[in-house]
Structure formats: C-alpha cells, structure tokens
Structure 1
Amino acid sequence: MTARGRVPPRAVVSSTIPITAASFYRETLEELGERGYEVHVVTSPGAQTATLADLAQTVHALPMHRGVAPLKDLLGLARWILLLLRLRPAVVLGGTPKAGLLSMMAARITGVPQRTYLLQGLRLEGSSGTQRRILAVLEKVASRCSHRVVAVSPSLAREFERLGLNAGRVVAVPHHGSSHGVDTQHFAPRPKDPELAAGLGLELAVPVVVFIGRLTADKGPDTLIRALTSAAERGCVLQLLVIGAQDEPDSAAYLERLQQLGDRVRVRVLDHIDDVRPYLALSDLLVLPTRREGLPNVVLEAAAMGKPAVTTTATGAIDSVVDGVTGLLVGPDDGDGMGRAIEQLVSDAALRDRMGRASRDRAVQDFQPGDVARAIVDHAVGA
C-alpha cells in the first residue's frame, strides 16, 4: 500500500516463456514500477522466472502451450480469468502470440480498463494453408480483445493492417520501434581480440562475417549458403562465424551444408553464448538472411558495436537497416544479391567503417532502452 493507505494500481505484463520477459521486457517493467504500478508478470513455469523477481511484485507461473492446442488453451484461458479476477489490474500488456492471445481474451472478459497487445512478430508469415488461416484468426481475436495494438516495427504494423489482422484497432509503433531498444553502453565498439581469433582458428587479416541465431528455414540459411557460395565463386575471401543453439529440427542439415563450404569459406560454429560482444567485435559485418522478423535485436546490437549489417527487405528486417547508410538490404531468398552485398562490404574497408559509424550513431539516437520503454508504457496505460 502507499503511504496514504491506498492500494496502487496493478499492471500485468505477460509473455509465453520467462526468458522473453527477462530479456525483452526489463525496461518496460521498470518503467511501470516507476510510474507507481504494482507490477505482476505472468509467464509459463521455467528456470528463468527467478530472474524476474527483482522486476515485479509477483511472478505468476501459468502454463501456456506455445503451439495451437485447443484443450490446453481453454484450460490456460480459465486460469488467466481466475487470476485477473483476483488481481483486478488496471493494465494488461500481453506480448508473444500465445500469452498475447490468452491475456487479451481474459482481460476483455474480466473488464480490464487498459488492454494492449504487444506485437513482436507475425508467425503466419512462415506458414501456409490451414495453419496460416488458424493463426490469422487468432491474431484477429487478440486484436479485437485489446484496446490497441503496439508493433515493434513500422513494416510489421503495416503488414498487420494490410492483412486485416488488427480488427479495426490502430496499430502504433513505440518511438522508432523495438521491444526494448539496445543498451549502447553495454554494446559498444571494442578492439578485436587476437587471442580469441587464434582460439577460433580465424585470421585477423581476413574479413569475418557473423551470423547469430538458429539455422532454421525462417532465418534464411538457404539464402546464406547461396550467398557465400556465389561470393566465393567470384573470388571473395572471407570467414564465417555462426553463433547460436542449433536445436531446431532442420538445424543439423543446414550445419552440414555450411561445413561443406570449408574448401571455399572458413566456417566456425559456436553454441549459444550469453555474451556475444567479443565475437561481434571480432567480426567485420553481420549477416541476417531472414524471411520474417519483428525487429531483429541482433542487428541493433551489432549496430551499437559499430558493425554494419546485410539483411533482407522482409517484414521487420527492413526497418533494422538504413539501406546504403548503416548496411545493405536485399530481397528475401535472393542469395545472389546477398552474396554481392557481402562482397561489396568485405572488399571495401572504408565503406564498412563508414557504415559502422553510422550504425552506431543510429542506435544511440533512436533505440535507447529508456525511450522505447516509456513509449510502450505510454500506449499500455492509454496516455
């Protein structure tokens, strides 16, 4: 209770899995607390829930199945309704597809005054047929149950509206986009580490291209392989560093194909790493051949460290780079075009340096975490 004995208003923030809330919602949770809200986080049970304890009054572990599972979802919705009836929050901010859907439905049923759906990506872009139609219906339901939709990038907002998924709701973009911005003091330029390079078997004299993420179809590894092959065929000399937990069903096949480039491109593969900064520092540019995004955080992190990026014009990705200024954009699935873009940056150190500085400037100017969090909370509380 407050000093005057009044109970502060409650805000509920949800994500399907705890690592999302811990990694992406930290600043938003802090901003809500600073505005006088009693903050509650609702997420599925998991080891990472403990990391949320210092950010919320209470963390509620509520099982939510990530896939389409009608019976489990009905049970999850019932649990959500009971929880909101007990908490009676003034604000519900629901992010990630399943938590967004269940939280918005339960919030509408229980009459929560402020309901905001945080749109961080569009799963249906990677689907087709019946699954795509089901996902579209679920997006419409989440939107209709909300008061407003907040998208993390302009292109995501446009695509959501173009497909008619917003159910008449205005789709806003907080600040310049992103779910949490990038800490430009944490991600800052640093020199390359010769010992790290030697340990990885990389030559400092040869440009290093880094890919960070899972090798799975939506991330465009076919495009990456074609790009590297075409660049090598034109005589471009480079090294590839892959960082990420390669645990998707198709990851092993893509890894094998990448390793087969060994006679043309030196490839080094590392598992998930908590602190990627030394490895970004070791690289000369980031490549992200993705087919869909919300707004790729890895591009912002690389930019903050002064690294240009080559990515695609896919939803979300197109907003992460200013083409020709902070990096280069090519069409999704355009392996030859991506190969030429990589070759252009690999072969021109002055261009890489100029784009790297511009990337850092943009990250500092447009994506400060505090600015992003304040904009998200403004929308969430109906300010």
Structure 2
Amino acid sequence: MHKLIRITTIPLSLEKLLEGQLTYMNSFYEVTAISAEKERLERYGRDNGVKTYWVDMTREITPIADLKAVLKLYNYFKREKPFIVHTHTPKAGIVGMLAANLAGVPLRLHTVAGLPLLETRGTKRRVLNFVEKFTYKLATRIYPNSTELKKIILKEGFTSSEKLKVLGKGSSNGIDTHYFDPGNYKDSENLILRRELGIPENDIVFIFIGRLVSEKGINELVTAFQNLNAEIKNTALLLVGPLEEELDPLSTHTLNLIEDHKKIITTGYQQDIRPYLALSNVLTFPSYREGFPNVVMQAGAMGLPSIVSDINGCNEIITEGLNGVIIPVKDVNSLFLAMQKMVDNPSWRKLLATAARNEITQNYDRIEFWELLRREYEELDRERDSSN
C-alpha cells in the first residue's frame, strides 16, 4: 500500500477543511497527517484513525523556523519514502513541497484554497509572490479549489495551465449533505437555543461563521447590521467563531459594537456549527478573499440563502437571485440593502433557501468528492508508471 502524507499548517485545517477525508483515504493508502500544535494533532489522529507526525509551523513569515521545518520533513520523507505528499495552506505548501522535492517524493501535490497575498502590498507582496511561484514550481500538480481561483493564478503568472486542475465543480472536501441537513433539527430545538442565546423567537437572524478578523468583512458586517437594526428591530446578528486579536484585528469601533450591541451575539469557536445554522435565516459572508468556502456550502446544505461578496468561490457557489445575493467587496451599503431585502421579502427568502440546499446536494456531495480525489491519485500513479 502506497504511503500518502497530507500536510496543513495547523490541525484546525485537518479538522474542518478536510473533515473525514483522511480517514476515508486511509482505506486505500497508508495515511499520515502532518501539522503543528502537537497535542491537538495527536488528538486528531486518535479521533480519525490516522498516523500523525508533528512539525512546528506558523502562518507568519519565519525563515529560520521554516528551514528547520524543511529539514525535519526532509529527514522524515527520506526515512518513510512516501509516494504522495499533498499539502494545503501556504506555509505547509512551501515547507512541504521543498522538503518533498529534495527527498525525491514521486508525487508532490498542493491544493490552493485561497491566496492571502492578494490582500498585501509592497515588499511583503513581492516575497509572497516569490514563495507562491516557488511552491508551484516544486509541485508536480496544483489544485485550485475553484475555477475563478485558477484564473487568478494564471493571471498572476504563478504557473502554467498544464500544472493546474480543478476537481469537479470546486471545493477541497465537498459537503456531507446528510450531516448538514436542516431536517435533523426540530423547530422546538431551535427555539430553545435561541432563548439560551437571548434571541427573540421572531427575529430574523443573520449568521456569520469563521474567524472574526478584518479580511472576513466583519467591520463592514457589524456596521451594516447596526444600520439595519436601527430601522428593523426584529433582527439579530450571530457571530460564530474565534476572535483573533493578533493577525488582522478588527477595528476598535467594531469591537465596541460587538461588545455593547444587544442584538449582536457571539459564541466563540464552536465544534458543531449546525445548531447555529438551524436557528438562523441568512448567512452573511462578506469576505475579502476565499478559495472555495466551506461555510457557504454548509449554510446552503442547511437551507440558508447567503449574502456573499463578489469573489472567487463565493460567486461560484452562489448564483445571484437563485440561492443568494452577491455584493461588491467592502461595500457596507450594498450589504445593508441585501440584508434589508432579505427581511422585507420573506417569500423570496424562502425560495432562495429551497434552492440553496438543492444546489449543494446536486453538485458538492462529500463522498463523491473523495472518490474524485482518490481516482485522481490513481490516475497520477498510472501516468507515472507509463512514463517510466
């Protein structure tokens, strides 16, 4: 059985972005998960029945620490002799692809689920551009997780089209449409959780799920909601996710509003987001950049229409007027008007909700995506055999 190594910078990506995938692949390959945060990684391995190997990595630019990580991975690869190394996230990509290339790993694959560098400028942007190009050069194949992201990569000149492939209609992992199913939640259960959170029974709830940082559009979302609630009192904003105060922090004004506004509710990080989606009415996701966002697919599977920014991934999952609304990036007024329209037109909102779940079940089922990726591995194996 071939050895397959999957690498992410932190275990959270294994838990959320690749949920269930490594366990599935373990039936066909000898899978090892590599990431930082040793204790959390080992817990992930126990919970998912896969081997793990700890390597210290961070999302920041740390050249000396990164070289140490490359050396540790190189020695591990030389010892273990994996057939496939498949990386995710920028730091894991450059560290993993460099070590795999030096160690002579036959198949070096990298999935691109977004380009953080698009929000940077100056010297940092030039450094990140170089790192991105170098990562792609070291890999044997690159998988953008959306068609629009592939176009951006080609436009930026990071690699040639021959190295790029989008699996299916996009995504890094698909969606478990049986797990994310509004039918699993009773109205009475949703009402109980609303009461626990202090949300009135008849409020229209706008939900955001993800890191509470500027690049997710939280500053704009909080301002738009403040304006909306000033006009329409039976509205609430539910923010589900961790507040990150070091990288890309929110403005002081936004933090104060989140703290003081009676209709803005925060839950912190939640392992299971389904109960919060089940009690909500609309996903608001005004992010500045994404790859192919799981949250938008999860919300759709749970029967929620979405308001998303006009960026790659979001504008591929959401079709304007069919399963949601697409607004310009960083546009508070457009976000406000879209939210207002969702409140003022309940019958239209329900039509969007029905179409939202249909879109996900038809195009992004998780098991089908896993099979697609497994067949991709097998095809690459055959291609390599035939060329040798």
Same fold (TM over 0.5): yes
Matched residues in 2 for 1:127 and 1:28: separation?
32
User: What is aligned with 1:255?
Assistant: 255
Equivalent residues, number = 372
Q: Does 1:245 align with 2:242?
A: yes
Partner of residue 216 from structure 1, selected from 196, 206, 213: 213
Matched, 1:166 2:159: yes
TM-superposed deviation, 1:231: 3.2
Does structure 2 retain, via aligned residues, the 8 Å contact 1:28–1:376?
no
Structure 1 residues 52 and 23: alpha-carbon distance in aligned structure 2, compared to 1, 3 A threshold: farther
Q: Given the alignment of the two structures, is residue 306 of structure 1 paired with residue 299 of structure 2, yes or no?
A: no
Q: Deviations over 1:23-49 (max 9, x none)?
A: 3334432343333x2112222243222
Amino acid at match of 1:185: H
1:39 match:
31
Partner of 1:144: 137
Once the two structures are superposed, what CA deviation does each residue of 1:284-307 show, in whole Å capped at 9, x if it has no partner?
111011101111211111111101
Note if contact 1:308-1:355 (Cα within 8 Å) is conserved in structure 2. Answer: yes
Name the structure 1 match of 2:279.
282
Quote the residue 2:203 is aligned against: 206
Kindly indicate whether structure 1 or structure 2 has the higher relative contact order, using CA contacts under 8 Å at least 6 residues apart: 1
**What letter corresponds to residue 271 of structure 1 in structure 2?**
G
1:116–1:380 CA contact under 8 A, matched in 2: no
Comparing 26-35 with 204-213, greater Cα deviation is found at 26-35
Which deviates more from structure 2 when the two are superposed, residues 266-275 or residues 341-350?
266-275
Cα offsets for 1:46-66 (capped at 9, x unmatched): 322222236465311122232
Residues 207/26 of structure 1: CA separation in 2 closer, same or farther (3 Å cut): closer
Deviations 1:89-119 (A, max 9, x none): 1111111111111111122222222111111
TM-score (norm: length of structure 1):
0.91
Which residue is equivalent to 2:386?
Answer: none
Using the alignment, how far apart are the partners of 2:5 and 2:208 within structure 1?
35
The answer for the alignment partner of 1:292 in structure 2 is 289
Tell me how far 1:340 sits from its aligned partner: 0.9
1:214-254 CA distances to partner (integer Å, 9 max, x unpaired)?
22110112221332244346557411111211132324732
What SS class does the counterpart of residue 26 from structure 2 fall into? helix
Q: Are the structure 2 counterparts of residues 57 and 257 from structure 1 closer, same or farther at C-alpha, using a change threshold of 3 Å?
A: closer
**Letter aligned with residue 206 of structure 2:** V
- Cα deviation code 1:129-163 (max 9, x no counterpart): 11111111111111000111101122222111211
Residue type at the aligned position of 1:333: K
Distance of aligned partners of 1:180 and 1:259 in 2 relative to their CA distance in 1, 3 Å threshold? same
What is the one-letter code of the residue matched to 2:191?
P
Query: Is residue 258–residue 265 contact of structure 2 (8 Å, CA) maintained in 1?
Result: no
* 1:224 and 1:289 in contact (8 A); partners too: yes
Query: After alignment, is 354-363 or 47-56 more displaced?
Result: 47-56
1:133 equivalent to 2:126? Answer yes
**Structure 2 Cα separation of the partners of residues 331 and 90 of structure 1:** 43
CA distance in 1, matches of 2:269, 2:251: 15
**What is the CA–CA distance in structure 1 between the aligned matches of 2:36 and 2:310, rounded to whole Å?**
33
Code of the residue aligned with 1:102 in structure 2: it is V
Q: Secondary structure at the match of 1:248?
A: coil
Q: Secondary structure at the match of 2:87?
A: strand
Give the conservation status (yes or no) of the 8 Å contact 2:23–2:50: no
**Residue number among 28, 40, 63 corresponding to 1:48 in the alignment:** 40
Match among 89, 97, 101 for residue 90 of structure 2? 97
For residues 152 and 217 of structure 1, the distance between their equivalents in structure 2, rounded to whole angstroms, comes to 23
Matches within 5 A, 1:9-88: 9-35=2-28, 37-49=29-41, 50-53=43-46, 55=48, 58-88=51-81
CA contact (8 A) 1:150 1:379 kept: no
Aligned twin of 1:342: 339
* Structure 2 residue 365 is the aligned partner of structure 1 residue 368: yes
Q: Which amino acid aligns with 1:40?
A: T
Q: How far off is 1:79 after superposition?
A: 1.1
Alpha-carbon distance in structure 2 between the residues aligned to 1:380 and 1:135: 29
Tell whether the 8 Å contact from 2:229 to 2:236 is kept in structure 1 after alignment. Answer: no
Residue 18 (structure 1) shift: 1.9
Q: Structure 1 residue 342: deviation in Å?
A: 1.0
Describe the superposition over 1:55-93 as per-residue Cα deviations: whole angstroms up to 9, x where unpaired.
465311122232111111111111111111111111111
**Contact 1:40 1:56 survives alignment (8 Å):** no
Q: Which amino acid aligns with 1:109?
A: L
Aligned pair in 2 of structure 1 residues 380, 16: CA closer, same or farther (>3 Å)? farther
Query: 1:67 is aligned with what amino acid?
Result: E
Unaligned 5+ segments in structure 1 are 1-7
Kept in 2, the 8 Å contact 1:175–1:371? The answer is no
Tell me, yes or no, if structure 1 residue 231 matches structure 2 residue 220. Answer: no
Whether contact under 8 Å (1:17, 1:46) holds in the other structure is no
Answer whether contact 1:140 1:167 (CA < 8 A) is retained: no
Greater helix fraction, Structure 1 or Structure 2 = 2
Structure 2 vs 1, CA of residues 45 and 247 (structure 1 numbering), >3 Å: closer, same or farther?
A: closer
Say which SS state the counterpart of residue 86 (structure 2) adopts: strand
Work out the CA distance in 2 between the residues paired with 1:54 and 1:206.
38
- CA–CA distance in 2 between the matches of 1:199 and 1:33? 40
Q: Percent identity?
A: 27
